Structure 1
Amino acid sequence: MATETFTWPATASMTKQVKFGVSTAQFGDGYKQVARKGLNPAAPTWNVSVTGTQDVIAAVEAFLERHGADTAFNWTAPRVGLVLVRATADGYSTSESGGGAATLTVSFERVYVP
């Protein structure tokens, strides 16, 4: 099965957070030894919001529910380009804006494959 692509445009207020995977050993004299974990120690996540009509939000919901938190898909991240991501296990939330509009918010985490 081909990898699908998330194509809906995100709002401009998107945030990105990067956590670094490290192992640390703290010694009694204040010295701390730090080493990177694995080949890809940076773990970025993006908080993405999509605003649109009820039909647009329903299509985004269907896409996310089809992939769940275990199936990766392509997405174009700002300043990064096309990356492989999946929705986090926190799922997504929606809010109604009135006038037939709604906003869906979801977090994507980058997926690394060998």
Structure 2
Amino acid sequence: MEFIWKPDLGAEKSKKPSVSTVKFNDGYEARIPNSINPSLRVWNCTFTNNLQTANEIDEFLNKANGTTAFDWIDPQGKKGKFVCREWKMNQIKFGVFQITAVLEEVYE
């Protein structure tokens, strides 16, 4: 499955590396990654489209159901596997709908 839609300008990428930290009394700290891919991309995106396109996006995300990973090329041009566990759709004016979605990178 490939997510083909491009987000609106202003998509936001965040990363929070997954690490384990051990702190000692003297201020010393040791850190190790929790996995071989500890820093995954998370994109907060908005898609503003007509009803037909918004319904296509909504249907795609419903079909993936937050469990099936899909291919997506992010706004920086980097391809990866992503899941979308959360999205919402709002009507912003007559015939124009906005979907906000959180696309999370995964490795399979």
TM range (shorter): over 0.9
- So what's the TM-score if we normalise by structure 2? 0.94
The CA distance in 1 between the partners of 2:77 and 2:53, in whole Å, is 25
| Code of the aligned partner of 1:42 | S
**Aligned counterpart, 1:76:** 73
**Aligned counterpart, 1:32:** 29
- So what's the TM-score if we normalise by structure 1? 0.89
Structure 1 residue 97 displacement after superposition: 1.5
- Residue identity (%): 26
Superposed CA RMSD in Å reads 1.0
| Shift in alpha-carbon separation, 1:26–1:37, aligned structure 2, 3 A | same
User: For each residue in 1:56-88, what CA deviation from the matched residue of structure 2 results, as whole angstroms up to 9, or x when unmatched?
Assistant: 111111000000111000111122422110003
1:20 counterpart SS class: coil
Moved over 3 A (4+): none
**Aligned counterpart, 1:101:** 96
Q: What runs of 5+ residues in structure 2 fail to find an aligned partner?
A: none
1:8 to 2, 5, 10: 5
The CA distance in 1 between the partners of 2:55 and 2:75, in whole Å, is 24
Q: What runs of 5+ residues in structure 1 fail to find an aligned partner?
A: none
| Code of the aligned partner of 1:58 | N
